[in-house]
Structure 1
Amino acid sequence: MERPPEFDDVEVLGLDENEKEEELMQEIGSERRRQVLEVTGNSASKKLKVLPPQSSKGPIDCYFSPRPTVMGKNIRQTTIDENSLAKNELRERACVAIARWMYDVGIAFNAVNYDSFGEMIQAIENYGREIKPPSFHEGSVFIKSVDASDESKTAALLASLIEKELMEISLEKVVQVVKYNASNNVAAGRILEANFPHLYWTPCAAHCIDLMFEDIFKIHVFKETFRKAVELTGFIYGSSGVLNMLQKFTNGVELLRPGQTRFATAFITLGRIHLQKANIRKMFTSESWTTSKWAKEVKGKKCERTILSPAFWNHVVYALKVSGPLVRVL
C-alpha cells in the first residue's frame, strides 16, 4: 500500500453530500495534525486545509499523565521495536542529565529511592517539556519571625528561641542551624550542640566573607581609596545636574550597584568606577564641567583632583585585585 501524500493544500472533488465528514477525516488525517474542512462554492467542491495541532492543555490535564498518541488510518505505524529504541535513548539521556546534576551538587545516589523523587519526576512529566526550573528562592520556605527587639540578645535567649522552633518543626527533621558569627550567636550554637548532639551550628559563609572585607577596609591604602570613592559617588549622586552630565559620557551606566552585603557593595562600586575611568575623566576635563558651577565648589574641586590623580587609579586596581576573588565567592 502506498503512503498517502502530504496534505498541506489538497483539493477534494466530487464528494457525496451524504458522506460523513468523520470518515473523510479518518481517511486523510492523523491525530498529530488538526484538520479543518472548509466548504467553498457548491457541495461538489470542497477544500481541505491542514493546520498544526494545538499544544495547549486544559485544567483537567493537570491531574492525568499524557496518553499515547494513536496513529491515523492509512498512515505508516511506528513499530514497537522502533518506539522502544527511541524511548530507551530518551531515558538514557534523562538519566545521564540527572546523574550529572547529582555529581555536581554531591547528592547521594540512594536519594532516588525516596518516594518524593518519583513524585517529582511524575510532576515534571505531567506539566510537559515547557516547564521552567524553580529558582533558588523558590526552594526555600519561610516559617516565622520573632520580634525580640525589646530583649537583650544573649546567647541563652537566642538558644531558647531556636530550641522552641526546633520542637515545633520536629527534631529529626533539623540537622543544621546557620547563623551570623557574632559572639552571642556562636555561644547560642554551642548551647544547642550540647543539648542536641545530632545538631550542627554552622557560621554564615556570606557573613564570614563580609567580615574579611571589613578587615581589608582597615588597611590604610584601601581605607583612603574607599573614602575617596565614597566622596566621589556622593558628590555625583548628590546633584542631579552632575549626574545627568556624567550619564551623557557613560551612556547611562550607573556607578552604584548594590551587592549582597554592605562591604561587597563598596568593592563592586569601585569596579564600576574603574570600568568607567575614561568616561569619568572625560567629563571632569570637558568644557561642560569646567564652565559649570560645580567645578567652582570645594567638593567639586576635590573630586576633580581625585579623578585626575594617577595614584588613586593605581590604588583602585590594587583593591580590586585583592577583593576580586572574595567578591566572586560571595
Structure 2
Amino acid sequence: MKQIKGGGITRFKAHLAGVKGQVEKCKKVPADIQHQIQKSIEEMKSKKRKVEEEYEDGNPCDEVTDLLHTQLIEAPHTSTSQKGKGRIGNYFMPRTTSGAQPILKSVIQSKEVIEKCDLAISKWMIDVSVSFDATNSAYYQPLMDNLCSMGLGYKGPNYYRVRGHLLNKWVEDVKKLVNDYRSIWKRTGCTLMADGWTDRSRRTLINFLVYCPKASAFIKSVDASHASKTADLLFKLFKEIVLYVGPENIVHIVTDNTANYVAAGRLLEREFPHIYWSPCAAHCINLMFQDIGKIPEVTDTVSHAANITKYLYNHCHPLYLMRQFTHGKEILRPAPTRFVTNFIALHWPKRMHLELL
C-alpha cells in the first residue's frame, strides 16, 4: 500500500476527489464519496471567489481564510443539517438510469422496514373499515409524502381537530374553488340543475348544482320538509340560487318533470327570459316506465317475477341451486322508487338463459 505523508486536508480531499495535476487519484474511493468531495471543493472555490470580490479593495483578515478552511472541512458532515433548500441534493451523484447505483436513502430503507410500515397502514385501514379503494385516491400518495417529511415524533390530528378546524379549512377551500369557477360561468355560460330526493329520515331535500365545461359544482342543499313543494315555493328557491350564481351566467335550468317543477320552470323563464328550462331526461324515462308498468299485462308479469324472487330467497336449497346455475350471480330485485329496475329484473332470466346455452 502506498503511503502519502504530509499535505494537509486540502491534498487529502484532492486525493479522494481525483483532482488531476496535484496528487495521485485514489483508486478505492466509492463513486458517491468522490462526487461529494468534488462538490465540496467546488463550493469552497466559489465561496473563496466571492470573498475575494467583496474584499478586493482591502486586505481580508486571516479570520476569513480560517472560516473558509473550517467550512471546507465540515461541509460534508454538516450539510445534512442545513435548512437551505436543495443543499443536500448537491452532494450526491444524480441517478437517471435504471442500472445506476441506488442512493443512500434507498439503501437504508430495507425491505423489512418497508414491510413494517405497509403492515401498519393496512392494519389501520382494516381496523376502521376504510375501503381498499382509498389507496387509489389522488390524495393517497401526497399524504404519505407529507408524513415522511414530518419525521419522528409527529402526532396525527385528533377527532375534534379533524371535525372542527380542519374540516372548516377544507370547506373554505371548496368555497374558494367554486368562486374560481365564476370566471368560467361568465365566459361559457352554465346549467343550473336541481335534484329532489328523500333521505332515510324522510326529509325532503333539494340539491342544487351548477354544470360548466370545467366541472360540476355543488352549490347548496335545501331542506323543504317544512312546507309543501308548491310551484311558488320552488320558484323562490330557484330564484335565490339563480341570483347567487348570476342570472347573466345561466343559460339553462334542468329539473324533475313533475307538475310543480314544470310550473316553477315556466315562472323562471318568465322572470329571466334568456334562461331556457327543460325536464330531466332520466326522470322522464323513469316516469315512462312507471306508466308502462301500470298496463295489466306488465303488472301481472312483474307480480309473478316478484313471487318467484321471494320464493327463491326464502328457501335455502332452491337458492343454492339457482346460484349453481347462475355461477353466483344474484337476481336483480327492484327498488321501491326505481321503476326501470322492474324491466331489468324481467330481462335478467332471458339474458342468463342465453349465457347458459
TM-score range relative to shorter protein: 0.3 to 0.5
State the TM-score, normalizing by the size of structure 2.
0.41
Larger Rg: 2
State the TM-score, normalizing by the size of structure 1.
0.44
